[in-house]
Structure 1
């Protein structure tokens, strides 16, 4: 999947007072913990995602999977690209870690997605239009911040 061809949906940012390796480790732990809940596997199965369970190497690396996503690329301490698809959408969630000053990392989560056809448009309205997606991503970033800052 060529991520650059997917339309930009949104981007959210969290400043984390920790080193990049600590934020990276926190991101992996939060993703593992968040996506290990049974509801994600059930939802991934319901909407036809090929990735329906956590699998592959840990800590996360290319070939790792979470319900609804698989790791397309992992550049430790810098960038993680999760991609997925289902009946109503093809999407990517890109996490980037940038220096934001001494001992501070800007953790960004960019969503890109295509929602083809009328059913895709309805799905976009339900997920993106209600701000449910934005709420979930901001919550995930805050959990990574708490995890990384707690470890310090």
Structure 2
């Protein structure tokens, strides 16, 4: 969760833009290919809408200014990432990220330990939320 000094509509635009930027980097797209992700490239409407994809994810719900739900799957896991957005006072918003995942089998259990057990997922999510906040606050109306 992060509080952002920007209106909900601006945070919504920055959320989509930052997800596109972060997940379309060559390293991230390469990782999606390596683990056999179902979605390996960005496609579909922009700003993100139901049916849009970014490496590793498909948008399954996009309620502008409220919620963006992503789902994905690969060899070791099936997962979802849900962003919820609320007004938090005049000119302020709160952005929350919720993760869900299943890690079937022995390989899934090992992958879970590598991603969740080491803290890598928490680190990555905090970094992503911070990048969205910075994008909104440092360059207003740029998204």
Q: Which residue of 2 aligns with 1:133?
A: 121
The alpha-carbon deviation at position 69 of structure 1 amounts to 0.3
Separation (CA, whole Å) in 2 of partners of 1:133 and 1:82: 16
The match for 1:67 among 52, 55, 66 is: 55
The alpha-carbon deviation at position 117 of structure 1 amounts to 1.1
Separation (CA, whole Å) in 1 of partners of 2:137 and 2:67: 19
Q: Which residue of 2 aligns with 1:78?
A: 66
Normalised by the length of structure 1, the TM-score is 0.89
Consecutive aligned runs of 4 or more in structure 1 exceeding 4 Å deviation: none
The alpha-carbon deviation at position 58 of structure 1 amounts to 0.5
Q: Which residue of 2 aligns with 1:5?
A: none
Q: Which residue of 2 aligns with 1:96?
A: 84
Q: Which residue of 2 aligns with 1:115?
A: 103
Separation (CA, whole Å) in 1 of partners of 2:105 and 2:89: 44
The alpha-carbon deviation at position 136 of structure 1 amounts to 0.6
Separation (CA, whole Å) in 2 of partners of 1:52 and 1:150: 30
Structure 1: state its 5+ residue gaps.
1-12
Separation (CA, whole Å) in 1 of partners of 2:98 and 2:26: 25
Structure 2: state its 5+ residue gaps.
none
Number of residue pairs aligned between Structure 1 and Structure 2: 140
Separation (CA, whole Å) in 1 of partners of 2:126 and 2:113: 19
RMSD: 0.9
Q: Which residue of 2 aligns with 1:43?
A: 31
